[in-house]
Amino acid sequence: MELPLNFYPAHKLNKMLRQKQVSASEIVDAVICAIDKAEARMHAYLRVESKEMAQAAAGFDSKSDALAKNGSISDFCAIPIAIKDNICTKGITTTCASKILSNYIPVYDATVIKRLKAAGYILSGKANMDEFAMGSSNENSYFGPVKNPWDLERVPGGSSGGPAASVAAGTAICSLGSDTGGSIRQPASLCGVVGLKPTYGLVSRYGLIAFASSLDQIGPFTRDVEDSARLLNVICGWDENDSTSIGSAEAGSQDYTKYLGCSIKGLKIGVPKELMVKEVDGEVRQKVNEALALAESAGAIVEEISLPSLEYALSVYYIIAPSEASSNLSRFDGVRYGYRNRDAATLRQMYKKSRAQGFGPEVKRRIMIGTYSLSAGYYDAYYEKAQRVRTLIINDFNNAFKKYDVLISPTSPSTAFRIGEKAGDPLKMYMSDICTIPVNLAGIPAISIPAGLSSEGLPVGLQIIADTLREDNIFRMAHALEEAIGFDSHPMYLYK
């Protein structure tokens, strides 16, 4: 069966647009058609911009001759892209999938949105997510969970469940998500798409509603590695509004597509045994090993290595991330925006009731852990200690990258689990991120690409990790492996 337009990667659509083989309206129609058919069952979106998409497409089509003539149909011009609902879009409700922001309308655009707008993108809608990006299954959304398009009884992963599911299901061509402990990579893995967490600081966080400031990064969900490189080109780069953004006004723009199609011969791959933990599913392990074998036949060198501090990564993360979050979420108090409880007679009651009613249980758990870890008497043993162990983890990665070009591991220890399976046990849920978390602690980049389907027909993801600002190695390896693996499945049953 021929793939409909909404399953094409953006780079292919772009070529067709430029060659006038397809109109923007046709692309948008295909996406809207898919949304009409599948979205109600999936709930990947909190808000779909159907009318605006159609208008934007019509607008593009009316100018396309002129645009084509002066060569300004850039890579993502007229491409429908879904935006995770923790990224501020001016004038369009941005909720973080929380009751406390259910009526919040940003008065400014996030920097990445400004860049996408300049590139001519079309907003398909705001994507569902775990509340305040806290979760690994998208079951923590105030507005209801997202279902995995491959099996609607299963989770898509989290916290960027909506962005991952929409790309997998063809209800968006690509999307933007955010990753603090694996929130792009893990859902990408569970949904069979490509998800990239860039180096910390490479993509501006201005306009990303903060979860954990020293760990958060915005990144792309795409059909393939080429789209990932292209979308990174658009969103990355120094931003004067973000003090933690790398680069400068003078630094030139990057082009990550030049690392596609490169040979991986002689590249050294390290496989950390701490990430091939016993919790990793047999089939996941198998698919990752198959991919490593393909890498070897392409001339790469594969070796098992040990990064001993990684054993503590989960603990370190579940102290640092909630601590920063507890402070970042203090601003949600019903004073200047968001939900306010109307029964309160005094200020303190208003704070407590608004926050108790506005936040979901996982968010409250993390605020409590974070507040505790920072509080008098516990700061040294928890927060500061965790930051010290973090240094050990960073050192382990630094040492590994002296010898190896990339590290490879499973992205998630399992394929998509059932809705409700882990929701009652926070610790069990936290374990879903065991392979992805160490990467955020070190601020290094990592990508998840599909490594195949399990015997149950569920996607398995493979994670490629590189050193700081070595996205070149990420793309080299990811593109080569993608080609070798040849994954080309889509959950077409949704449209039968």
Partner 1 sequence: MVQENKELINDGYETVIGLETHVELSTATKMFCGCALSFGAEPNSCTCPVCLGHPGTLPVINEKAILYAIKIALALNCTVNKYTIFHRKNYFYPDMPKNYQISQYDLPIGSNGYLDVDMGDYTRRVGITRVHLEEDTGKLIHTGSTGRISESASSIVDFNRAGTPLVEIVTEPDIRSAAEAKEYLVALRNLILYLDVSDCSMEEGSLRCDANVSVRPAGSESMGTKTEIKNLNSFRFMQRGLEYEVSRQAGIVSSGGKVIQQTRHYDNVTDTTKPLRTKEEAHDYRYFPEPDLVPIHLDKEQAGKLKEQIPELPGQKSARYISDFGLSLYDAKFLTGDRQYALFFEECMKLYKNAKAVANWLMGDFSALLNKESLNLSESKINAAKLVSMLELIDSGKISSKIAKSVFEEMFYKGTDPAEIIAGSGLEQISDEGELELIIDEVIKSNPGPVAQLKDGKEKAIGFLVGQVMAKTKGKANPRLVNEIILRKIK
Partner 2 sequence: MSFISKDDVRHVAKLAELEFDDAETDKITSELDRILGHVAAISKVDTSNVAPTSHTLKISNVFRQDVKKESLSADEALSNAPEEQDGGFLVPKID
Nearest distance from C-beta of residue 34 to partner 1, angstroms: 29
Partners of 236 in beta bridges: 203
Distance CA 309, CA 294 (A): 29
> By C-beta, is 326 or 463 nearer to partner 2?
326
Torsional class of 120: left (φ above 0), alpha (ψ -120 to 50), beta (otherwise): left
Would you say 445 and 474 are in contact if contact means Cβ atoms under 8 Å apart? yes
Residue with tokens 């959304």: 141
> By C-beta, is 346 or 455 nearer to partner 1?
346
- Listed in sequence order, the residues at least 6 apart from 236 whose beta carbon sits closer than 8 Å to its beta carbon are 198, 202, 203, 254
Does 318 bind partner 2 (CB under 8 A)? Our answer is yes
| Chosen from partner 2, partner 1, none, partner binding at 76 (C-beta under 5 to 8 Å by type) | none
Q: Is 84 a catalytic residue?
A: yes
Range 86-106 burial, b when 16+ CB lie within 10 A, else e:
bbbbeebebbbbbbbbbebeb
Does 349 bind partner 2 (CB under 8 A)? Our answer is yes
Does 312 bind partner 1 (CB under 8 A)? Our answer is no
| DSSP state at residue 14 | H
Q: How many residues touch partner 1 (CB under 8 A)? A: 43
| Chosen from partner 1, partner 2, none, partner binding at 349 (C-beta under 5 to 8 Å by type) | partner 2
Would you say 153 and 373 are in contact if contact means Cβ atoms under 8 Å apart? no
Among 306, 353, 453, 470, the residue binding partner 2 under the rule CB under 8 A is 353
Does 249 bind partner 1 (CB under 8 A)? Our answer is no
| Chosen from partner 1, partner 2, none, partner binding at 206 (C-beta under 5 to 8 Å by type) | partner 1
Would you say 277 and 314 are in contact if contact means Cβ atoms under 8 Å apart? no
Tokens read off for 23: 């109109």
User: x-or-dash pattern for partner 2, window 460-479, by CB under 8 A?
Assistant: --------x-----------
Q: Which helix (H) or strand (E) holds 304?
A: strand 301-305
Other Cβ atoms less than 10 A from the Cβ of 129: the count is: 35
Alpha helices in 126-251 (DSSP H): 161-169, 185-191, 225-235
Nearest distance from C-beta of residue 88 to partner 1, angstroms: 5
Which residues sit at the interface with partner 2, rule CB under 8 A? 103-105, 107, 200-201, 214, 240, 243-244, 246, 309, 312, 314-316, 318-319, 326, 330, 333-340, 344-353, 355-356, 359, 364-365, 367-369, 371-372, 375, 381-382, 384-392, 394-395, 426-427, 430, 441-443, 468
Which stretches of the chain bind partner 1, using CB under 8 A?
86-88, 94, 96, 101, 104, 106-108, 110, 205-210, 212-214, 240-244, 323-324, 327, 330-333, 335-337, 347, 351, 371, 374-376, 379, 383
